[in-house]
Chains A and B, each alone.
Chain A
């Protein structure tokens, strides 16, 4: 071996930049393994925790983008194991897979299957992100022979101010939940309502509360009493849909004067009526209505129950979808939703709660608007195709190598 060749082999490598090291770290198998383990842990803890704390609350705690880190809680006891939020673990996994599994992966037709599979997984992660940020969900109950063209949000309580003409709402202004749901501990906010002859001042929002009469029970914590009622805070329900929000509100007239405060509660039967000169308004708190671009008429609802029980075996809704002059008959049943105009109607349940055979029932649809609705299915097709390509390439290679090695006769 020549001196020159020795010199060549012993030349030290140029020091790697911190940027390259960072990319090495973010694209490495080590990080991918840690992230997948973390996802498994998060899923396991969330599954256990949702038993006690409810699905909605647990999903928010574990997978909301605002949850950077969390401490799991099992049967009311905190587990001293800080974990990163699931959203950010998925985001990091996306970066890891993009760098390691797409950009830096060995290229060439032999690796094309892996590349396709990785792209499929990336699409799945993107679908999760899009659903997290852009999807909407609500429910829509409809009785036989009746029509409905608005779903109701599962969780968000809003204040609605309707101007009444001829005994009916003529226009409705909405104060979304995000404008009031942070008004805890006596905080208040002036809600300016352009186009209306008054504004509202909202205070002391409670996620779950009941209006209680002072004749039933005296206020225990000095709560504000309005017309003989006050708001009694209740612990939030495990099933978050069952929460009934409430707050105190007062009307602020354009001359700056304020009316007496009143209670707005999700758990109320009728709205409050407010007059301003000749104009009449109702103010109510309710779950947000989500208008649909078409009307659904329930023609027939059938429920089959397991013999001798109140457990439903199958329920089917035959509906007419009415959009302008078009009327289309559609059957919605379990695993056969109606998809139209980017909305998906699932047969979710029926009512009234606990109803059984022989009772008059109504159908309840879950309405979902998710731009990434079908992306998980597409991504699974892509992953499967990628794996098939990998398998076929390996199989082809194996057969070729066997045929090269096999002895020739004759």
Chain B
């Protein structure tokens, strides 16, 4: 009888200790340092840096009315949404290659044939961040090449310019009608971009 009572008390104690364990635990495990710990650590990272790997942008821009500013990411120094469909995007990047390479990459995303340097030189020029850039437009089926399915009825407008830090691109992609309506805003936005000194 005494044994049964002791067993019962032990069970009750065990159950009650389980409840406490659920709310609080002592965790004392450590691990030795490894080669993984030799990589540089980014200290004081902001949430945008932690979750989007955003880099300090070498350009600043004023968000146009009606555009939605999004967090910067690893590849988008400035990042926006526009248009009623919610599918219109504008982003600013520093790209590699030359002006013609980037123009042809953009055209290629709409299935257009590449153009030569003379044709690039003949393209419309606009001012972006104090430098002169070429204005690019395309329309049709947009295939970003990032594994996303092609989007028919899309259009592109943007600028490719050479600055000190490399090639600055300002790219707008979205449904054709929305891009057509927002082109003038994009020109103003590009002209208003400033390089961070």
Which A residues are closer than 8 A to B by beta carbons? 147-150, 162, 164, 167-176, 179, 187-195, 211, 213, 215-216, 226-229, 263, 265, 267-273, 280, 282, 289, 291, 295
Contact = CB atoms under 8 A, between A and B. Distances in A.
Contact of A174 (B30, B44, B51, B68): B30
Interface of B: 22-38, 40-53, 68-71, 74
Contacts of B30: 171-174
Contacts of B35: 147-150, 295
A135 to B, nearest CB: 19
B45 A273 contact: yes
Given A164-B41, A215-B71, A273-B45, A149 B50 contact: no
B51 A192 contact: no
A213 B49 contact: no
Given A173-B29, A213-B70, A215-B68, A270 B23 contact: no
Given A227-B47, A272-B50, A280-B43, A173 B70 contact: no
Contact of A168 (B24, B32, B38, B42): B38
B40 to A, nearest CB: 7
B24 A190 contact: yes
B57 to A, nearest CB: 15
Given A164-B41, A215-B69, A271-B41, A189 B26 contact: no
A192 B70 contact: no
A269 B40 contact: no
**Most B CB atoms within 10 A — which of A164, A172, A267?**
A172
A167 B40 CA distance: 8
Given A215-B68, A269-B53, A192 B24 contact: yes
A189 B53 CA distance: 29
A340 to B, nearest CB: 17
A265 B36 contact: no
Contact of B50 (A170, A174, A191, A268): A268
A169 B29 contact: no
A215 B70 contact: yes
A268 B51 CA distance: 5
A120 B34 CA distance: 41
A164 B43 contact: yes
A282 B44 CA distance: 9
A289 B31 contact: yes
Contacts of B33: 169-172
Contacts of A270: 41-42, 45, 49-50, 53
B140 to A, nearest CB: 26
Given A173-B30, A289-B31, A289-B36, A189 B47 contact: no
Contacts of B37: 162, 168-169, 172
Contacts of A164: 41, 43
B70 A193 contact: no
Contacts of A149: 34-35
B34 A216 contact: no
21 contacts: A150-B34, A162-B41, A176-B29, A179-B25, A189-B25, A190-B23, A194-B28, A211-B50, A213-B71, A215-B70, A216-B70, A216-B71, A265-B51, A267-B51, A269-B45, A269-B52, A269-B53, A270-B41, A273-B43, A289-B31, A291-B34
Contacts of A193: 27-28
Given A215-B71, A282-B41, A173 B51 contact: no
Contacts of B45: 269-273
A174 B31 contact: yes
A162 B32 CA distance: 11
6 nearest A-B residue pairs (beta carbon): A150-B34, A270-B45, A269-B53, A270-B42, A211-B51, A227-B47
Given A175-B29, A229-B47, A282-B41, 4 more contacts: A189-B25, A192-B26, A195-B28, A227-B46
Nearest to B22: A189
Contact of A150 (B29, B36, B42, B43): B36
A2 B50 CA distance: 99
Given A189-B24, A189-B25, A211-B51, A172 B31 contact: yes
A175 B44 CA distance: 22
A295 B69 CA distance: 46
Contact of A192 (B27, B29, B46, B48): B27
Nearest to A262: B47
Nearest to A187: B22
A162 B196 CA distance: 34
A85 to B, nearest CB: 24
A164 B37 CA distance: 10
Contacts of B44: 273
A289 to B, nearest CB: 6
Contacts of B26: 192, 194
Contacts of B51: 211, 213, 229, 263, 265, 267-269
Nearest to B74: A269
A172 B32 CA distance: 7
**Which of B41, B53, B70, B71 has the largest count of A CB atoms less than 10 A from its CB?**
B41
A131 B22 CA distance: 29
A273 B34 CA distance: 20
A227 B49 CA distance: 12
A227 B46 CA distance: 9
Contacts of A295: 35
A174 B29 contact: yes
A348 to B, nearest CB: 18
